Amino acid sequence: MTNNFAVLGLQWGDEGKGKIVNFLSDRANAACRYQGGHNAGHTLIINGEKIVLHLLPSSICHEKALSLIGKGVVISCDALFEEIEKIEPIAKNIHERLKISPACSLIQPYHILVDQLKEKSNSFNTIGTTLRGIGPAYEDKVARRAIRIIDTLSESKLEDKLKENISYYNFWLENYFGHTKLDFQKIKDENLHYGEKLTPLLADVSSLINGLNDQGKRVLFEGAQGALLDVDQGTYPFVTSSNCSPAGIASGAGIGPLDVGYILGVVKAYVTRVGEGPMPTEIHDSIGAEIATKGGEVGATTGRPRRCGWFDAVTVKRIIKSNSVSALCLTKIDVLDFLDTIKICVGYDFKNGSGDYAECMDLVDVEPKYIECKGWQTSLKGINEFDLLPPEAKAFVKKIEEVCELPVDVISTGPDDHGTIVLNEEI
């Protein structure tokens, strides 16, 4: 048994994972991103400065922690090195502390191009992706033709694999999208260049984690996106292309499923969603707009407005039950300060027999059933002790525990570390 732990989102992303991972990083010897790519946008506030990370683990500013990127992550080298350069002045010894698996698949320029062309085309479902090439990169991985970091270390191997990929993509680009051909030489040169740059950062992340655990050290696994965007467990097809639920940790980091440890599921006190797809509790009136304004609900990666809705305990409970989630972290509770009544969805009326197919997560033919909680109408911002919360806020937290059938171990009342209440000191 290990004492590892995981922090990941149980909704449609942007639950506040970055803040919580940064806050808890002191309790870990290493933090590991294990899926997704630079579609993620994780916000941390360090010494009053706002930092948005896309690929690097949110522990990166903690000098004592190793930062790991496991093989389940798809890497854009442009984005990675841009991020490293930006964070270097405040993340000391980053080149010694950052370790990346050579088994990671690389996002290529043609992945970004195809993502963009598909999203623009009338022949495909518009998903509202981040246009970062994430879906096409994972498609190549599953199709067993991905260029992995290791492939960039040998010119002949890279050339063979890239030739195969480029002829495949050129056929598709020219004949389906009427697009010009890709420049093989340019793409090859870029890959070789990045292979060289990546070499000093490469490590067998899976063995590294096992080695740390053998020494009794703790690893924190940081999820990107949220379980409702998981390709198998989310609102398919309006999902991302990886397993962002706890099920993805073991395969993405390269560890045994029993070594994941304690799983902290981060949920916002309401829900948000960026892009297309069903959201049964979406609020279409001025309350939704006010939550969005007060919560600063604008995408950290794309700057798109986030749709807002009431807390949906039905979807969260389904994810909890099917993913061995240990406890909840309830974030952004302060955003609801202004409300006199707060709704929680505790059930669905399934129409047209759709309940029989609930596992498909279509969530189209459902009518949410709500309970109402009394609002507190006073500022919670920055409160860091449970006892200092007003009775209505305490009752709201208890209600979330009751309807989700899981303890709330952490509460977040503001974007920086100060506004954090830890109710289980064993984390």
Q: Which of residues 186-245 bind Mg ion (CB under 5 A)?
A: none
Could you tell me the smallest distance in angstroms from the CB atom of residue 116 to ligand IMO? 11
Q: Which of residues 323-362 bind ligand GDP (CB under 6 A)?
A: 331-332, 334-335
Measured CA to CA, the distance from residue 250 to residue 247 in angstroms comes to: 7
**Binding status of residue 399 toward ligand GDP by CB under 6 A:** no
**Binding status of residue 115 toward ligand GDP by CB under 6 A:** no
Tokens coding 226: 């949220």
Q: Which of 60, 51, 55, 47 shows the shortest CA–CA distance to 21?
A: 60
Q: Which of residues 25-54 bind ligand IMO (CB under 6 A)?
A: 39-42
Q: What is the DSSP letter of 58?
A: T
14 in catalytic set: yes
Tokens coding 367: 């009518």
**Binding status of residue 128 toward ligand IMO by CB under 6 A:** yes
Beta strands (DSSP E) in 187-281 are: 219-226, 262-268, 270-273
Is the separation of the CB atoms in 273 and 281 below 8 Å?
Answer: no
End-to-end CA distance of the chain: 15
**Binding status of residue 297 toward Mg ion by CB under 5 A:** no
Q: What is the x/- site pattern for ligand GDP, positions 292-311, by CB under 6 A?
A: ----x---x-----------
**Starting at the edge strand that comes first in sequence, how are the strands of the sheet with 366-374 ordered?**
270-273, 307-312, 341-350, 366-374
**Binding status of residue 229 toward ligand IMO by CB under 6 A:** yes
**Binding status of residue 55 toward ligand IMO by CB under 6 A:** no
**Binding status of residue 135 toward ligand IMO by CB under 6 A:** yes
Tokens coding 339: 């409300």
- Choose the one of ligand IMO, ligand GDP, Mg ion, none that binds residue 331, judging by a C-beta under 5 to 8 angstroms depending on kind: ligand GDP
Q: What is the x/- site pattern for Mg ion, positions 243-282, by CB under 5 A?
A: ----------------------------------------
207, with CB counted inside 10 A (0-12, 13-18, 19+), is: exposed
Measured CA to CA, the distance from residue 313 to residue 2 in angstroms comes to: 30
**Strands 341-350 and 105-106, sheet pairing:** unpaired
Amino acid type, 86: K
**Binding status of residue 127 toward ligand IMO by CB under 6 A:** yes
How many CB atoms lie under 10 A from the CB of residue 230?
Answer: 27
| Nearer CB in complex with ligand IMO: 128/390 | 128
| Nearer CB in complex with ligand IMO: 278/382 | 278
38 in catalytic set: no
Could you tell me the smallest distance in angstroms from the CB atom of residue 44 to Mg ion? 11
Residues found near ligand IMO in the complex (CB under 6 A): 9, 12-14, 39-42, 127-130, 132, 134-135, 224-226, 229, 240-241, 274-275, 300
Chain residues that interact with Mg ion, rule: CB under 5 A: 14, 41, 300
Give catalytic residues, as residue numbers.
14, 42
